[in-house]
Structure 1
């Protein structure tokens, strides 16, 4: 039996190394799936905003003489934003930047539309329009939360795949980029609801 002891020890080390390798691979799969899940939540939040903007545009289109160019800017920006899709398993900094630029363009166009609404008393009093504005503000907060949670999962993922010795066995897993705040966009799009109070203040 003693003559087999060295062989048994070697086989034991091989078995332990195999389990260790499998554990590293399974861990990488887990953190990668967590990133994909949070990206799905990001997409869901942005999709909700896009749907609300679509309904907002339909409401505004019913207003007489509303600026056509302002509406078209929102419609075009929304189409561009929805056309940018990302696979979270292969996300690159350039792809995420393109996604952010498209969403930023939509933010800008939407802000101009909401400012234009100030010149339309009937539209400002439209209950459906006011409700959509309220829902948009809530959705902006959901987007911020989803992006923050995505970044948290990316940090866990990157730390896992880049540290030694994990990175020796995880060459197929690439570092993922973070969401970064756009210049001048440290906070969500501000949407003003209380038009009545503004008019009262102006009259005083």
Structure 2
């Protein structure tokens, strides 16, 4: 009789542990899904802003048709539904590259850079890019925690029983990690070092040679 009581207690404990692990996995999965929805909201805002930016640029640089069309094609690809996080990251990276070329074109149009609507759009786009980066970090942190649970014992057993699987990270590609430059404000000029001084060498740099026939100054 006692042995059956022990077995029943062990079974109950195992069930409670399994339930706890399962609930933890579901909580993490829900956090991942919620974090992805936040990214999706910011990406949609980004796509809208880029569309408005293209329309504004078109009013000043309509003949830059190739660049404008490249941005809109990349935007359409990024807006396509049913993409996994990895596919979405790739699409957004291609859109960032096309947007970078558009911004480079806009640099040649002073009237465009002074347009108030254009300035407002580029400020909103900068803010949106920052929010996307923040949402991406939050999403990836939750994915990392979920994947760790799915791959480690004993939670991997429960995950396998209930079909809870790894999730994909939302990672930008290495060549796309630099943020898109959308600031058309005044830039700080870089002052070149005096002639004869090595860049970044400080006061220990070798001074320029004196003109022919002139003695170098005597150092104190």
Report the TM-score, using the length of structure 1 for normalisation: 0.83
Partners of 1:117 and 1:124 within 8 A in 2: yes
1:13 aligns with 2:4: no
Give the structure with higher Rg (CA): 2
Instruction: Find the counterpart in structure 2 of residue 46 from structure 1.
Output: 43
How many pairs does the alignment contain? Answer: 188
Kindly indicate whether structure 1 or structure 2 has the higher relative contact order, using CA contacts under 8 Å at least 6 residues apart: 1
Change (3 A) 1:56 1:65: closer
> Which structure 2 residues correspond to residues 10-159 of structure 1 after superposition, within 5 A?
10-63=7-60, 65-86=62-83, 95-159=84-148
Structure 2: distance between partners of 1:55 and 1:181? 24
Residue 65 of structure 1 and its aligned partner are, at CA, apart by 3.8
Change (3 A) 1:173 1:64: closer
Name structure 1 gaps, 5 residues minimum. Answer: 87-94
Q: Could you list the per-position Cα deviations for residues 44-95 of structure 1 after superposition, in whole angstroms to 9, with x for gaps in the alignment?
A: 1111111111111222222254411111111111001000434xxxxxxxx4
Instruction: Find the counterpart in structure 2 of residue 92 from structure 1.
Output: none
Structure 2: distance between partners of 1:157 and 1:35? 8
Instruction: Find the counterpart in structure 2 of residue 89 from structure 1.
Output: none
Structure 2: distance between partners of 1:155 and 1:83? 26
1:192 aligns with 2:188: no
1:174 aligns with 2:165: yes
Change (3 A) 1:17 1:72: same
Name structure 2 gaps, 5 residues minimum. Answer: 190-220
Structure 2: distance between partners of 1:167 and 1:99? 28
Report runs of 4+ in structure 1 exceeding 6 Å deviation: none
Pick the structure with more helix per residue: 1
Change (3 A) 1:71 1:64: closer
Partners of 1:73 and 1:109 within 8 A in 2: yes
Structure 2: distance between partners of 1:23 and 1:176? 21
Structure 2: distance between partners of 1:143 and 1:5? 60
Q: Over the residues paired in the alignment, what is the CA RMSD in angstroms?
A: 2.1
